[in-house]
Amino acid sequence: MKTFEELHCRQKAKDLSINLYQHFSSIDDLLMRELICAPCLSIGTHIAVGHGKSIKENTAYLSQARQDSAQLRSMLYVAKELDYIDENTFTEFYNEALDIAKMLSGLIKAIKQKPTEKKENKSSES
């Protein structure tokens, strides 16, 4: 089993957090900075916290991380409308957040299928 640090979705979330922090560190709107950086930080945190827990708990944390990605994408639209980011930066950040959400969906699906595969293998061995 991989550590949470080895999970590609967590690495991408960390990189996106750093990029967002660097980009938004120069804006004076502290509320916007908090509202856009917090969900991104939460993506990686939820991945880490759920790792190693039961399947039910892990998938709940991963689902929350996916919701954090949606919240971030929503805030990116607001940042673009307020001219805190240009179209290219919006697209880059948005696509990264969307890629992470897709990876989380795949990870959730894989985790949920794993016990089923073990049960099927046991019943076919009988």
In this predicted structure, what is the pLDDT of residue 118? 44
| 105 within some domain | yes
- When divided into structural domains, the chain yields a total of 1
- 45: how many CB neighbours lie within 10 A of its CB? 19
Judge contact between 40 and 92, C-beta under 8 A: no
Report CA torsion sign: 110, 116, 122, 123.
Answer: negative
Among residues 60, 61, 68, 63, which one has the least CA distance to residue 17? Answer: 68
In this predicted structure, what is the pLDDT of residue 18? 95
Mean pLDDT by 10 residues, the chain (126 residues): 82 95 91 92 93 92 97 97 96 97 95 63 44
C-alpha–C-alpha distance, residues 119 and 9, integer Å: 28
In this predicted structure, what is the pLDDT of residue 5? 79
CATH number at 55 reads 1.20.1440.60
Report CA torsion sign: 7, 69, 94, 27.
Answer: negative
In this predicted structure, what is the pLDDT of residue 122? 45
| 3 within some domain | no
Which residue segment(s) compose the domain that 34 sits in?
8-119
Neighbouring residues of 99: CB distance < 8 A, sequence distance ≥ 6: 12
Judge contact between 103 and 8, C-beta under 8 A: yes
